[in-house]
Amino acid sequence: MRSMSGITALFLAASLSAASAGASSTEPAAAAAAQAAPSAPPASDARNLETANQRSVEDARHGRYIDASFGLLAALGLAEAADIKDADVFDQWAQVMSCMTGEPTFNPAKSADFHVPPDQIAALRTSDGVAAIPEIVRRARQTRIVILDENHLDPRGRAFALEVARALRPLGYRVLAAEALKRDADDAASLAKMTALSADGHVRQASGYYLDDPVFSDFLRQSLALGYRLVSYETTRTDYANDPVEAQGQREQDQADNLLRRAVRQYPDAKILIYAGEHHAAESPIAAEGGKVALMAERLKRITGIDPLTIDQAGLSRVPMNRPDTDLYAIAAPKARGRSVVLKQRGAPLVVGLLAGSVDLQVVHAPGGNVGGRPDWLLGMRRKPAPVPPALLPESGTRLVQAFLAGEPDDAIPVDQVLVVAGTPAPVLMLPAAAVRYRVQDLKMGKPAGE
């Protein structure tokens, strides 16, 4: 297993317990495991697995991060997240945990799902790293559409997306289309919601699944402040064909059609930054989809006649969503040297792994440092470390300390949050230069809140 931060490692071995806001734990976490385990349904029960996973999704969507993580383990009758054998359920747990730590977690339930040819590995070893933002800006001048992908499991990419949004704004990019924004079938309804978000200046708990992450939420918050208009484009269709290849193709076409109407035609004088999941940025079919499906970027290029700049930052992530049979990040990371770079070989862009031959540029982020127990890349979001107020430190158990911008409503996403374990040094909060208010969620003994 790859190394992980101390806080992530601690909670990977988290005990069975659940939480609710404002309820204090009175016993150690190990005692919670002893109490909760006997009454939990067996983890092998497929129906229980699906129910527990969906409940975790709903808890996260309503800001109940402790319920969504520790409560998920309790519902499954598991003592440690590493005991989750279903890869998708583990990803759900890991996504929620990353919302509280800023760190991705290696998924032991996943095995390698594609082969990296030896010639790509050799090319990666001999490639050079060139500063990413200047190269992106140079190429973005030559098109109207930039597509940047993300690894849904790693918040680091969302901070980089903010860097890209800042750098592209002076070039006339003023529309930000995000796959994660809540979907609507009707164009007018979608436009009305996006207009409301622009007026608010921030997203809310109901704005989209991945936006529960404070880093993602702040990426959009700061982009709105820069003058970007938001566009949602994910499909709402559920009547897909039974054939997986045809179903995937229908989804990709729906996304491209929505982007055509809601972004390209709705804002004819604007340039567009599209922020998508990893596969959708491909301009040609990839192995993960059987090599048969034309993905969103390819379809959008076809129907608009615009050749987009496509950028992958997911394939060489520390904890990739799609797992190659070679640790590509270990080879690429030394080329970053404290900054985000794009790969080049003999002056030409190099892309390896899942999206080789399908995108224009591939980004590698430098291995992160640590500031007060937090990832140092958060500083690039114009944050400064701030200690957790002493009055909010727990006397026992585990507490999630959340900071919200003072002027935002109760259903806003926190601007930052940290897990604090009584008796251990508290991680710092990474806060903007703005007034904040605090809220806490405490680990609660017994069953998840609401049972």
Give residue-wise pLDDT tens across range 279-320. Answer: 999 999 987 656 789 999 999 999 999 999 999 999 999 998
pLDDT over 90 percentage in the chain: 78
CA terminus-to-terminus distance, the chain: 35
Task: Tell me what pLDDT residue 289 has.
Answer: 55
The arrangement of strands across the sheet holding 398-405 comes to 18-21, 436-444, 398-405, 416-421
pLDDT digits (tens, 9 = 90+) for 237-292: 877 667 788 888 999 999 999 999 999 999 999 999 999 999 999 999 987 656 78
Q: What are the backbone dihedrals phi and psi of residue 33, each rounded to the nearest 5 degrees, phi first?
A: -60, -45
pLDDT digits (tens, 9 = 90+) for 162-212: 999 999 999 999 999 999 999 999 999 999 999 999 999 999 998 998 999
Q: Which of 217, 9, 204 is nearest to 101 (CA)?
A: 9
* Adjacent-strand bridge partners of 345: 348
Any idea what the Cα angle at residue 420 is, between residues 451 and 93, rounded to 5°? 50
**Which residue segments constitute the domains of the chain, with CATH numbers given?**
6-109+384-444 (no CATH), 118-364 (3.40.50.11550)
Q: Which residues contact 41 (CB under 8 A, 6 or more apart)?
A: 48, 75, 76, 77
Task: Tell me what pLDDT residue 26 has.
Answer: 29
Q: Which of 397, 389, 390, 393 is nearest to 24 (CA)?
A: 397
Q: Is pLDDT of 214 > 80? A: yes
- Residue 38's pLDDT band (cuts 50, 70, 90): very low
Is this model's pTM higher than 0.85 or not? yes
Q: Which residues contact 55 (CB under 8 A, 6 or more apart)?
A: 71, 72, 75, 448
Q: Is pLDDT of 28 > 70? A: no
**CB of 418 closer than 8 Å to CB of 427:** yes
Q: How far apart are CA 204 and CA 193, in angstroms?
A: 11
**CB of 363 closer than 8 Å to CB of 132:** yes
Task: Tell me what pLDDT residue 94 has.
Answer: 95
Q: How far apart are CA 64 and CA 80, in angstroms?
A: 20
Q: How far apart are CA 331 and CA 326, in angstroms?
A: 9
